[in-house]
Amino acid sequence: MRHLSRLLCLLTICFIPFASLANAKQAGTASLAKERKALYLKTSALTGIPWTILAGCDQYERNIHRSKSTSLISIKMDKKVWAGPLNPNQNDDDHPLTIALFNGKGKDGNGDGKARLSDQEDRLFTLADALTKSGPGWQNNQIALWNYYHRGKAVEIISEFSRLFDHFNTTHLVGHAFPVSFDRRFDYKSSWGAGRGWGGRRIHEGTDIFADYGAPVRATSYGVIELIGWNKYGGWRIGIRDPEGLYHYYAHLNGYAPHIHQGTVTKPGQVIGYVGSSGYGPKGTQGKFPPHLHYGIYRDNGKMEFSFDPYPLLRLWEARDRAKLR
């Protein structure tokens, strides 16, 4: 008994610092989010570009560049674009007039009389200034994003981020949930990369969570429903884009929760559908396999999307959710 008491005491002592560190980290990210939003609002007031679009651009670049979470602004620009392609001094990031003379894009965003590529506020203002060239209004903002990034997927993702940040009035959206409700039986194991035969040779790009037919399926993250409807492989499926740019794919559903549609904003734990056995055939095909949720995650790197094994994250989210129930 004495040894058990010592062990419990030791575990408590060890847990407290880790819990404190986690709380401190969360408080730090919340403070950083407030600082970012203040800068987005200031730049929006100067340029007329909605703060949520500026936040969406910054978040998009933070994701694709895998920038440190402690960076205030993650907008990146090429030296030639900033200083001007014909500027003899490609490191010219001090003189707005010289930069403008050589058709450079660099602007002074903080009013110090200098346009520095290294200055985060200058970079954000320069981005916003570029977006103003297409005129005001949402449609023109979309055109401006295309002219800036030259990627349709970038426009789509940034627009989704903008919708998400506008809905919650913050960029500080953290937390996850296990995708199947704990009041139903379920079982799963790592199966990412396994071979699949139906529909041609391919690999399994996710984890199958076997559960009771009709068991509630929950959103694992904050996000926006990017895709919903029938797919011959996944049956009735939903795709949700989260703030980290990850695409969460839920397939083989029996149906969708009420009021769920393309563009719906989600939060962790929100019921979005129900476990089924749809797919592997034309629209409406059911019952070709036991009921389960196929759950996959895809990362966008600015050029393409690729899947990675969601199993470790599922185990982590399950453990966290169970701990909350104790």
Q: What is the pLDDT of residue 5?
A: 42
Supply the pTM of this predicted model: 0.87
Q: What is the pLDDT of residue 270?
A: 98
Residue 28's Cβ-side half-sphere holds a number of Cα atoms within 13 Å equal to 10
- Domain borders along the chain are 35-168, 186-325
Residue range 32-70, pLDDT digits in tens:
999 999 999 999 999 999 999 999 999 999 999 987 777
Residue 257 phi/psi, 5-degree rounding, is: -70, 155
Q: Virtual CA dihedral for 197, 202, 205, 211, nearest 10 degrees?
A: -10
Contact 251, 237 (CB under 8 A): yes
Contact 261, 238 (CB under 8 A): no
Helix, coil or strand: residue 289: coil
> Based on C-alpha coordinates, what's the Rg of the chain?
23
State whether the Cα torsion 59-63-64-69 is positive or negative. Answer: positive
Closest CA to 72 of 122, 15, 144, 107: 122
Taking the C-alpha atoms of residue 243 and residue 223, their distance in angstroms, rounded to an integer, is 6
Taking the C-alpha atoms of residue 3 and residue 92, their distance in angstroms, rounded to an integer, is 68
In this structure, of 25-29, 276-280, 292-296, the range with the lowest mean pLDDT score is: 25-29
Taking the C-alpha atoms of residue 194 and residue 188, their distance in angstroms, rounded to an integer, is 14
Q: What is the pLDDT of residue 21?
A: 42
Taking the C-alpha atoms of residue 6 and residue 14, their distance in angstroms, rounded to an integer, is 12
Q: To which CATH superfamily is domain 186-325 assigned? A: Glucose Permease (Domain IIA) (2.70.70.10)
Over residues 254-263, the mean pLDDT reads: 96
Over residues 202-227, the mean pLDDT reads: 92
Integer angstrom CA distances of residue 139 from 131, 134, 159: 12, 9, 11
Taking the C-alpha atoms of residue 197 and residue 297, their distance in angstroms, rounded to an integer, is 21
In this structure, of 87-101, 168-182, 242-256, 278-292, the range with the lowest mean pLDDT score is: 87-101
Q: What is the pLDDT of residue 41?
A: 98
| 286 DSSP 8-state letter | B
Residue range 97-144, pLDDT digits in tens:
889 999 999 999 999 999 999 999 999 999 999 999 999 999 999 999
- The alpha-helical segments, DSSP class H, found in the chain are 2-47, 51-65, 79-83, 96-101, 120-131, 138-149, 152-168, 311-325
